[in-house]
């Protein structure tokens, strides 16, 4: 099934906001993505609450790829490294974020934990602020998204280097009906296939090529 048409829609409908490509080290993840997509991610910032740092590439006006890794310069959070990075030894898609205007109600409905506020300042002085559901909440191996709402903050995709366009997102899981049911609760339809282990697969149009990223 093609990615829901609302994925790059800046309206209030639930939409794919970004994909998280986890790596043991940020430079390793950035280099791998540059080889695959032909564009080098721009370093973003650090997340002290989660022990991570990131770099970004745009996949459309309101969708981006976040390369994320443990930050060796930050103390390890009490709950461990966030966003499913604990134990990641090779770069891969670890989870994704769904943009949702009614984030509190949606998080409660899908049992995604409390909604928290976050912020960071870019190198140009622009402050990014957001609300997100708890990324530590168990989400079926990362196949269920955490939720995010940028409010009035400029969307990060607008300032990130372009890597092309996200065309499709597929999900694989041993319990596809459970994943599909939760996604329907969140108001988005994405293909979910049965597989032995949880896996995300993104189809990206990059520099005239079609790239499968998993």
Q: How many CA atoms lie within 13 A of 45 on its CB side?
A: 17
The SS3 call for residue 38 is coil
pLDDT at position 156, please?
93
d(CA 19, CA 45): 16
Residue at token pair 């049965």:
194
pTM, two decimal places: 0.92
Q: What tokens does 186 get?
A: 């969140």
Q: Which residues of the chain have pLDDT under 70?
A: 1-12, 123
d(CA 210, CA 207): 8
Query: Which range marks the domain in which residue 126 is found?
Result: 5-213
Percent of the chain with pLDDT over 70: 93
Number of independent structural domains in the chain: 1
Residue 107 Cα to chain centre, angstroms: 16
pLDDT at position 124, please?
74
pLDDT at position 165, please?
97
d(CA 145, CA 188): 11
Beta strands at 92-99 and 146-149: parallel, antiparallel or unpaired: parallel
- For 15-40, the pLDDT digits (tens) are 999 999 999 999 999 999 999 999 99
The SS3 call for residue 2 is coil
Q: Cite the beta strand spans of the chain per DSSP E.
A: 15-22, 42-47, 52-58, 64-70, 92-99, 115-121, 127-133, 146-149, 165-173, 192-194, 199-206, 209-213
CATH number at residue 121: 3.10.180.10
């Amino acid at each position: 099934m093609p990615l829901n048409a609302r994925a790059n829609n800046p309206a209030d409908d639930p939409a794919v906001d970004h994909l998280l490509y986890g790596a043991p080290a940020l430079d390793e993840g950035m280099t791998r993505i540059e080889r695959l997509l032909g564009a080098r991610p721009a370093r973003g910032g650090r997340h002290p609450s989660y022990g991570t740092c990131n770099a970004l590439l745009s996949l459309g006006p309101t969708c981006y790829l976040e390369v994320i890794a443990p930050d060796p310069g930050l103390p390890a959070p009490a709950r461990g490294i966030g966003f499913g990075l604990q134990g990641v030894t090779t770069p891969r898609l670890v989870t994704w974020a769904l943009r949702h205007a009614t984030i509190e109600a949606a998080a409660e409905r899908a049992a995604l934990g409390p909604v928290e506020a976050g912020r960071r300042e870019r190198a140009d002085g622009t402050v990014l602020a957001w609300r997100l559901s708890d990324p530590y909440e168990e989400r079926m191996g990362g196949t269920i998204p955490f939720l995010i709402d940028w409010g009035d903050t400029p969307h990060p995709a607008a300032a990130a280097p372009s890597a092309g366009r996200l065309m499709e997102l597929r999900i694989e899981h041993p319990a596809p009906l459970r994943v599909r049911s939760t996604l329907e609760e969140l108001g988005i339809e994405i293909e979910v296939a049965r597989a032995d282990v949880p896996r995300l697969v993104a189809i990206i149009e990059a520099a005239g090529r079609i790239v499968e990223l998993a």
